[in-house]
Each structure stands twice: as C-alpha cells, then as structure tokens.
Amino acid sequence: MKDGGVFAFAGIWERRERDGEVTESCSIIVTAANDTIRPVHDRMPVIVAPRDYAAWLDPGLRDPGAVKPFLRAWPADGMEAFPVSTRVNRPASNDARCIEAV
C-alpha cells in the first residue's frame, strides 16, 4: 500500500471431518489484476477494505452474493510496486529484507 499500512487478503477456510480424519484447508481469493499489479501478473489477491472486515468475517453469513461486492481489484492508485530481492523466493527468508526495494 502506498501509505505503508497493513491490509487483509480475502480468504476462505474450511474444516472437514470424515472417518475420524480432520482436514483443514484455506485459499486466498484472487481477481483480475489492477494496473499496478498487471505488469507482474494477470491476477492479484482480493484485498478487503477495513470497513468490510466484520462483514467478510461474519460466520453467520450464508449468502455468497452478499460478499460479491468485495471481490474486486484494489484501486491501483492506492498501491505501489517495486523490485525486491530474490530472497522472497526462499522459505527460510523471513525478515524485513524481503520487502526492501532493490
């Protein structure tokens, strides 16, 4: 984000039990990329606005159509993109250097 603030991706999570075995899974929801992300990839994660967190996380929500307005690309003018080190490609790399511009 241009302002350096935190943000939240839209995701789904599920827990299933079958024959005594528990399976938990999750996915990040993607949409078409905005103009900032498109030079890197044609898709991007859906970013949920803070004002929509409660609605997105409402466990009582059963109508998929109610969240459809959230499933859009974040406005490109609120984001910035810059090259980073290939450190981000290594799972062992887990520090602030992964997000420093090079």
- Residues 65-76: pLDDT tens digits? 998 999 999 999
Helix then strand then coil, in percent of the chain rounded to 5, is: 25, 25, 50
Q: Token digits for 53?
A: 């967190």
- CA max distance for the chain: 51
Residues 66 and 33: their CA atoms lie apart, in Å, by: 22
Q: For the chain, where are the alpha helices, taking DSSP H only?
A: 53-57
User: Is 2 within the bounds of a domain?
Assistant: no
Domain count of the fold of the chain: 1
- Residues 19-28: pLDDT tens digits? 999 999 999 9
User: Is 3 within the bounds of a domain?
Assistant: no
| Mean pLDDT for all residues in the chain | 94
| Residue corresponding to tokens 């980073």 | 84
Q: What is the mean pLDDT of residues 88-101?
A: 91
Q: Token digits for 76?
A: 């490109």
Give the pLDDT of residue 44.
Answer: 98
User: Is 45 within the bounds of a domain?
Assistant: yes
User: Is 1 within the bounds of a domain?
Assistant: no
CATH code for the domain in which residue 52 is found = 3.90.1680.10
Give the pLDDT of residue 64.
Answer: 86
Q: What is the mean pLDDT of residues 47-61?
A: 93
